[in-house]
Structure 1
């Protein structure tokens, strides 16, 4: 019997999921038109990539 511990992975997924919902709320409040709402959904899904990109832009 394997003695693996997947609780850490599940906890990380839960935190990422909460981050997605929080990003959706934030970006949804900033949107003011149909395509802005569509973009808000996309940004909510990929918010870590946008955040890392902005950090690298700042460090450049």
Structure 2
């Protein structure tokens, strides 16, 4: 450890974070647009946007009769 005990961490998952951010924004726009427009409807839409992959997996499993 010739550099004073410091280590270098190289994060290579940055582009995936941007993809997930775009997916969240798109899901949030969709779920908020289909809500009734009330405050709690918008809050519920934002919460649904967080867990939208669970909706996708559920519906795929329903289609596969699993």
Task: Give the alignment's TM-score, normalised by structure 1.
Answer: 0.75
**Greater Rg by CA:** 2
Q: Which has the larger helix fraction?
A: 1
Could you list the runs of 5+ residues in structure 1 that have no partner in the other structure? none
Structure showing greater relative contact order (alpha-carbon pairs closer than 8 Å, 6 or more residues apart): 1
Name the count of aligned residue pairs: 59
Q: TM-score, normalised by structure 2?
A: 0.70
Runs of 5+ in structure 2 lacking a partner?
A: 1-6
Segments of 4+ in structure 1 off by > 4 A?
A: none
